[in-house]
Chains A and B, each alone.
Chain A
Amino acid sequence: MSASLPHAVAVWRRNASMYRRIWMLNILPNFFEPVLYLLSIGIGVGAYINEMGGGSYAAFLAPGLVCVAAMNGASFEVTYNIFVRLNFEKQYDAMLTTPIQPDDVLIGEILWAVSRASIYGVCFFVVVVLFGLAPLPSALLVLPVIPLAGLLFASIGIAFSLRIQTIDLYSFYFTLFLTPLFLFSDVFFPLEERLAGSWLWLAEALPLLHPVRLARAAFSGRASAVVLWDVAYICIVSLVLLAWARRAVRARLMT
């Protein structure tokens, strides 16, 4: 069995045709979430903070929230949506009567989740630019970070979706996994200044930390060797999870 890019693109286009119709309901509300955080915490709470990392608090918040937007975009796609397609709509059973193979389904879905993450991330980045919070041109380097963040959270989410038997478990995924990540991954405060040095290594396990650090490096225009570790983390974790997901998808769709 093999993967074929044109067939994966056909799967991607299925999702694209659907969302062209219903994006107002499905995509728009989720997109506003980081915008609201930027307004409330960044500009509201930020008014009481003189300076953070050499600039305004809103400017400190902006790069992290770009990654959060990408994380949300990918996560919504590979959780409820995939679960429904997999378990209730039998969409994949229909695809597998055509030349589409399980590998194409997985690649198409991941590409779509990354696309949706990129739509969210880039739109939010435009908002940040309009607020004057992104130093140009260096902040443009955040653009390749957005799909990387999307890939990472698409991989984590799809692995979770293939593991669980009931849709109710997503409340754990969102409340006990994504929300803590959002709160403790360098988005709101610099983790290394608040966490005892001996615990910092543990924070490296947090998935969101890595894209946030990359985004911060892009916004500041200063990179250190640690960005290599961040890129490596994202790629390795994604590949390992996708390799597992590949077997799980085949087992699920073929008997």
Chain B
Amino acid sequence: MIVEARGVVKRFGERVAVDGIDLDVPRGICFGLLGPNGAGKTTTLRMIYGVCRPSAGSIRVFGLDVTRETRAVRARLGVTLQESVLIEALSPVDNLRVFGRYYLLREPLLSRRIDALIEFLELRSHADLPVQRLSGGFKRRLAIAMSLINEPELLVLDEPTTGLDPAVRLALWARVRDLRARGTTVLLTTHYMDEAQRLCDRVAIVASGKVIAQGAPPELIRAHLAPETVEFDCEPAEEPTLLDGAPPPRHRLRSGRRLMLYVDDASPLVDRLHHRDPNDQRALVVRPTNLEDVFLRLAGTSLEGT
């Protein structure tokens, strides 16, 4: 196991930010911590790289106790923080050089690594401009490049694509997949379902400081709901007549007027609904079930926070 957390609790005064989390991140996978803002994801990450001490429980990273062997653990991992921590007055190349020295990297290895990362994250055209003149997408790529300077065995990404435009998100996802293909273990937090579903081999869904489900995304969907989702507008009072005679769904969720039915095969239900509502006044959608649905079912609130 790259990360092994057992019964981890973190209290800030009265507030319990993390409430007894167990995590297992095996080598070579992309693992996602999923949950709404304030669920305890960032605090969990901070404990994993050792700037935050657990109030109870234990965390081992690379088999080492992170609170005792902080320096040794951090030498082998890279962290991309949520907030930009670049030095605005320096160029990407100089930022990378400064960061590489924190790992005691020396020339000529340092310059070789910098060059490879500039290439890998496609920063060449802006490599010598001061960071303050770069766009948000370039800055995020540079931030990720910095966390790769020590060729980490574990890459920790805290909300890697929050606030980025779709093209940059796609490019970053591709880089994350490249890294995993090279054998880097990736641990990321996100509140984007599509991100988790596209990137993560395993996810842990976190709510109010607890892991409420853990597993591969398709597994979680199978275990807690069903593969297909049929959703449409429907007042509670209309429900019995509308669904009369349709095969019963595996699960159902309601959010205001919106009813979501989870089924193994959507077609009989859809036929039924078309029959009852030929003009399609109900904004009917048929789609694959996703992690957001799983979260809704398990936590009773939306991931974006309600």
Contacts and interface: CB of A to CB of B under 8 A. Distances in A.
Interface of A: 1, 4, 6-7, 10-11, 13-14, 17-18, 21-22, 89-91, 93-101, 253-255
B46 A255 contact: yes
Contact of B102 (A1, A18, A22, A98): A98
B51 A99 contact: no
A99 B104 contact: yes
B52 interface: yes
A18 B104 contact: no
Nearest to A255: B52
A21 B89 contact: yes
Given A7-B102, A93-B51, 5 more contacts: A1-B70, A10-B101, A11-B102, A14-B98, A98-B150
B97 A17 contact: yes
A89 B103 contact: no
A1 B75 CA distance: 15
A155 to B, nearest CB: 24
A1 B70 CA distance: 8
B89 A253 contact: no
A4 B72 CA distance: 13
Tell me the dominant secondary structure on chain A's binding face.
helix
Contacts of B90: 17-18, 21
Given A17-B94, A99-B102, A254-B51, A89 B70 contact: no
Contacts of B113: none
Interface string B81-116: 101010101100010011101111000000000000
**Interface-central residue, B90, B146, B156, by most chain A CB under 10 Å:** B90
A26 to B, nearest CB: 10
A100 B70 CA distance: 9
A254 B101 contact: no
Interface string B185-224: 0000000000000000000000000000000000000000
B97 A98 contact: no
Interface of B: 12, 46, 49, 51-53, 70-72, 74-75, 78-79, 81, 83, 85, 87, 89-90, 94, 97-99, 101-104, 146-147, 150, 156
Contacts of A101: 70-71
Given A10-B101, A255-B51, A255-B52, A99 B89 contact: no
**Interface-central residue, A14, A95, A98, A253, by most chain B CB under 10 Å:** A98
Contact of B81 (A10, A97, A100): A97
Interchain residue pairs A-B with the least CB separation, the first 9: A94-B85, A97-B79, A98-B102, A10-B101, A99-B71, A14-B98, A99-B75, A99-B74, A96-B51
Contacts of B70: 1, 101
Nearest to B156: A97
B260 to A, nearest CB: 39
A179 B62 CA distance: 53
Contacts of A90: 81, 83, 85
B292 to A, nearest CB: 30
Nearest to B73: A99
A254 B83 CA distance: 17
A25 to B, nearest CB: 10
